[in-house]
C-alpha cells in the first residue's frame, strides 16, 4: 500500500513538473509579446475616415517607451517618466488610457505636444497661432448611430511638421468648432479624433466628461496597421457575413 502511494505521488509530481515548464514558456511568450505589441479593436467612428468601426489594429508598445499602462497587467509603478521614453510626433495615431477612467482605452490622433497652444476657430484647427489648411477631398457616405446614411465632406489637413491626414467635417458652427485656447502642460498631450464633429477628445475637459489633456504616462502605444476589418453594423443576415469582411483594409498602414 505504501509503495503504491509513493509511486502515485511520484507520478503526480512528474505530471505537475511536466505541466509547469510548458505553462512557464507560454506565460513568458504571452508577456513578452504583449509588451512588444498588442491588437486593439475600434468600436466607434470618432477616428473616421482614417479608422473604421470594426477595424482590428496592431499597436506597438515600444514606440514611446514603457509605462505602467504599456506593460502587461499594468504591473509597473506609477511614474511621470517612461522607460526609454520618446514623445510622439504630431499626427501619430495612439492608444491611451482615459485620464478620468484609466481602465478604458481610447484611440485618437496626437495634435498637440507639451507647450503647444491649440484652439478651434470656426471649425478650423489653430496650433501656435497658425490656422491649419483644409483641402477639400470629396465626400463619403457615413452611417450614423440611428441607422441613416448621409454624405459627409472629407478634407486633408496638414499638421506642423508635415503630417497630412484626412478629416470629416459636417458643420462649422458646432459646440466644439470655437474653443478657448488650450496650452498643453508639460508631460501631457492634446488628442483629437479625425471625425471632428463626432469625437469626444481633449477639447472637452475631464471634469466635463471629456478627455482633457492626456498624461504621457497614459500612452499605451502607437497604432501601426489594420490587421483586418469587419463591417458588423451591416452584416445583417448570415448570408452577408462573408461580404461584411473589408478585405481591402487588411494590412493597411495607419496614417
Q: Are 87 and 113 in contact (CB under 8 A)?
A: yes
Q: Which residues lie across from 228 on neighbouring strands?
A: 56
Count of structural domains within the chain: 1
Q: Is 86 within the bounds of a domain? A: yes
Please, which residues have CB within 8 angstroms of residue 129's CB and are 6 or more apart in sequence?
Answer: 117
Q: Is 4 within the bounds of a domain? A: no
pTM score above 0.85: no
Q: Are 248 and 132 in contact (CB under 8 A)?
A: no
Which stretch of DSSP H or E encloses residue 4?
helix 2-36
Q: Is 218 within the bounds of a domain? A: yes
Q: Is 12 within the bounds of a domain? A: no
CATH number at residue 168: 2.10.109.10
Length of the chain: 255
Neighbouring C-alpha atoms within 13 Å toward the C-beta of 136: 5
Q: Is 72 within the bounds of a domain? A: yes
CA-CA distance, 202 to 127, in Å (whole number)? 14
Q: Are 71 and 79 in contact (CB under 8 A)?
A: no
Q: Is 249 within the bounds of a domain? A: yes
Structural domain that includes position 102 = 39-253
CA 185-191-196 angle, to 5 degrees, is: 135
Q: Is 77 within the bounds of a domain? A: yes
Active site amino acids: 46, 108
Predicted confidence at residue 29, as pLDDT, reads: 40
Q: Is 27 within the bounds of a domain? A: no
Note down pLDDT in tens along the chain; length 255 residues: 555 544 545 444 444 444 454 444 334 444 445 678 888 989 889 999 999 988 999 999 999 999 988 887 777 778 878 888 899 999 999 999 999 999 999 999 999 999 999 999 999 999 999 999 999 999 998 876 666 788 999 999 999 999 999 999 999 999 999 999 999 999 999 999 999 999 999 999 999 999 999 999 999 999 999 998 877 666 665 655 566 678 788 888 898
Amino acid at each position: 500500500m505504501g509503495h503504491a502511494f509513493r509511486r502515485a505521488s511520484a507520478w503526480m509530481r512528474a505530471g505537475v513538473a511536466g505541466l509547469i515548464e510548458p505553462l512557464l514558456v507560454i506565460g513568458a511568450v504571452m508577456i513578452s509579446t504583449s509588451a512588444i505589441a498588442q491588437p486593439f479593436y475600434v468600436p466607434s467612428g470618432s477616428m473616421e475616415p482614417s479608422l473604421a468601426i470594426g477595424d482590428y489594429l496592431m499597436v506597438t508598445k515600444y514606440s514611446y517607451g514603457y509605462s505602467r499602462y504599456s506593460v502587461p497587467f499594468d504591473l509597473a509603478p506609477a511614474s511621470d517618466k517612461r522607460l526609454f521614453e520618446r514623445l510622439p510626433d504630431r499626427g501619430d495615431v495612439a492608444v491611451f488610457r482615459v485620464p478620468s477612467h484609466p481602465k478604458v482605452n481610447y484611440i485618437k490622433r496626437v495634435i498637440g505636444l507639451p507647450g503647444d497652444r491649440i484652439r478651434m476657430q470656426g471649425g478650423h484647427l489653430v496650433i501656435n497661432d497658425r490656422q491649419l489648411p483644409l483641402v477639400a477631398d470629396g465626400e463619403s457616405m457615413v452611417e450614423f448611430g440611428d441607422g441613416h446614411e448621409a454624405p459627409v465632406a472629407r478634407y486633408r489637413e496638414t499638421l506642423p511638421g508635415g503630417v497630412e491626414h484626412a478629416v470629416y467635417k459636417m458643420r462649422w458652427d458646432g459646440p466644439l468648432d470655437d474653443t478657448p485656447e488650450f496650452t498643453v502642460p508639460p508631460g501631457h498631450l492634446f488628442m483629437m479624433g479625425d471625425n471632428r464633429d463626432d469625437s469626444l477628445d481633449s477639447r472637452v475637459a475631464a471634469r466635463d466628461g471629456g478627455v482633457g489633456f492626456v498624461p504621457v504616462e497614459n500612452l499605451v502605444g502607437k497604432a501601426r496597421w489594420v490587421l483586418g476589418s469587419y463591417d458588423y453594423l451591416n452584416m445583417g443576415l448570415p448570408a452577408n457575413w462573408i461580404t461584411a469582411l473589408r478585405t481591402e483594409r487588411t494590412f493597411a498602414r495607419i496614417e
